[in-house]
Structure 1
Amino acid sequence: MKLYLDPGHGGTDPGAQGNGLNEKDVTLDIALKLRSILTNSYEDIEIKMSRSADITKSLSERTSEANNWGANYFLAIHINAAGGSAEGYEDYIYSGLSDSSTTAKYQEIIHGEVIKMNQLKDRGRKKANFHVLRESAMDALLSENGFIDNPNDAALMKQDSWRQAVAQGHANGIASAFNLKRKANNPPEPANPGTGTLYKVIAGSFQSRENANERVAFLGAKGIDAFVNPTIISGKTWYRVQAGAYSNCDNAEEQVAVLKQAGIADAFIAAENSSPAQVAAAVDSILGPTRLSAEQMNSFVKTVNPDALELGSFYQEFGEYYGIRGDIAFAQALHETNYFRFTGIVRSVQNNYAGIGATGADHPGASFADPKEGVLAQFQHLFAYASTAPLPPQYPLVDPRFQLVERGSAPKWTDLNGKWAVPGKTYGQSILDLYERMVNSTV
């Protein structure tokens, strides 16, 4: 099935405007989310977008492209406006078609699925002589997803979870109308907005929208679709460059790897609509890729301790070498040292960021020659707990307690409870909670 996906307006044409929003931005975000859902979740679907960035494209260019490509279906995503009083959702097919046409049957199916998800008043299924409906050679639908100049509808449009739900509704409709087969090991998406976890791939975050636009253009030149998603963090607006959103964390990690190969070293994953338990379930394994960059780790600790050592590069380096989640190991060090303030029994001069061997005031634990060696010891100690494999040979063994660990006895962070710390009944959970705060505060 070949779907031509057309987010309305773009570039010099902002579309409808109201309540601080531009139609072109909302439609693009919904369309990109829709593409991610369909390509990640279903087999035998090809998607071509009229635009995947903020560019200008005429109506005739859009329909000609869809016709020449041989699309099976044309779906245009739009937002309405009507003076501020109107509200709700409606969709359109070409006015020259009968109610018994295949196009009308598709409209009925998609309309019903979108209404289940979008929290909008149902304004019904309609017909119109719109260019994209008239000039497209295939079945076509244009959806109008709320009124941008209505304060109630606009308040929903400003919520990322709502835009995700609208995309999901369209995806459910497309899948039902065209009998798409769900990919193996890909469970159905949540039935309602606000449930489940969405893993957004962020390819950079900037305080300048111009810089964010430059990153989008850079990625576009490398064949990677991305868009700017303004995000408010600690009262400040940051312009995140989003390069995908996935319901499966493994798929998000694959996209991060693609971005890093393209030269985007600061790519990371932001999990949304997740509870602490969901985050813990997604990241509880000690072994795995480091998602946050060194800069992001350093920035986070300095929000609490401005004088903290900048050790993020060591956690990134050793995380990659040992195959250990370096960003969560960094959270463990913050937990052990009180954000590198060393208010417990271990002193800063020991360079012991994991409390290795520390059992009390008379036994403050091991000391290491410098900060890098101290971080190395922490990773070797984690490797001993998480794996039964031989220690990789590049670095010398500096962990004095490596041989005392029951190898492979703690593959998860929560398995460290009562082992790394005694009694430590919630030791792993505390680390994961701290890591969640790191992710949620990451710009």
Structure 2
Amino acid sequence: MKLYLDPGHGGSDSGATGNGLLEKDINLDIALRIRSLLINNYENVDVQMSRSSDLTKSLSQRTNEANAWGADYYLSIHCNAFNGSARGYEDYIHSSLSDSSTTAIYQDIIHEEVTKVNQLRNRGQKKANFHVLRESYMPALLTENGFIDNPQDAALMSDAAWRQDVAQGHVNGLARAFNLQRKEDGTGTLYKVIAGSFQTRDNAEERVAYLQSHGIESFIITITISGQLWYRVQAGAFSNRDNAENRLQEVQAAGITDAFIVTETTANHAPENDAGYSIMGQTYLSPELMNLFVKDVNNDAIELGIHYLTIGEAYGIRGDIAFAQAMHETDYLRFTGVVQPEQNNYCGLGATGPDNPGASFETPEEGVLAHIQHLYAYASTEPLPDEYPLVDPRFDLVTRGSAPAWTDLNGKWAVPGDNYGQSILDLYVRMIDFSTQQLNNVKQNISW
């Protein structure tokens, strides 16, 4: 199935506005989540987006692109606005179509699935003469996911977990309408390129500096073998063995003869059953790659990667997945929910609604520390390490060790949050894919 996925508006066209939100941002976020869910979970799905960033594109450009590509379906994602009092979800097909048309049947299915999960008033299935419905050659649907100028609907829109649920509802409808087949569960592998192991951090830092002087991104992770602490220099983590082999060759060509590849088996499409996706564990991605990932969406984002690596390492927490959780909670550090940037609260600690935006911390580092400590409370029954003071105000409210895996946070960190952990892991997969692309770009630009 070839899906043309169209996040409405963008660039100089913000779309509707209200309650501190821009329609173009909400549309894009939901659409990106739809694309990720489809590509990661279903066979034989090809998705082309009208835009995957904040750019301006005319309606004609969108429909011409979809028609030239030969899409099987056109899905346009929007939010609504009226007078501040209107609320709810509605969707549209073209006004010329009968209720028994294929397009109308698809609308029936997708409408049913979206309204199951979106917590919005159901305003019904409608028809209109919108450009994208009229000029697209293939069946087309435009969804209006709440009223951005209504405080109740906007409060939902500002919640990343809600946007994930809405995306999942669209995907569930597409899967039913087009009889999409889920990818089979199985085992996958992450391939980590280790460019040296050392008993002292100073030696490891020298290796990192040497690799960086040769244009190779790397960072330090720790591992305990037979009671001995080792400092490993990691030069990439890849889901594809060939990419890892290519990186290994680059490292070896730089004169590092003791480099090697280690593998970690992970559950493919069922990470909650795999120790590789436990909250405790090593960090794969470098601070630089974490920062690049968020800046690809929000160029004004502050750089938190180093804090998630170093503090995560001190507590034995997967710092890169914790970083993904922070991006999920803060909408890529754009803070479109009730928590504000000056709070330095990157995981929504204590935030329960507009009247209670949660805890505040003095510095970004302290905010990351509180986040990691809260994860540690859920994942471990051990006492807190002594390296940092306790700054998490809700540490003692957690049932210690009650959530050793990310999906165990469902219904605990977020309520109801049925897919909360899965949403974090889905974003983390996007981080891995983005990082692989960035590292491949570095490879292409290196001349020996």
Task: State the TM-score, normalized to the length of structure 2.
Answer: 0.48
Task: State the TM-score, normalized to the length of structure 1.
Answer: 0.49
Q: Which has the larger radius of gyration?
A: 1
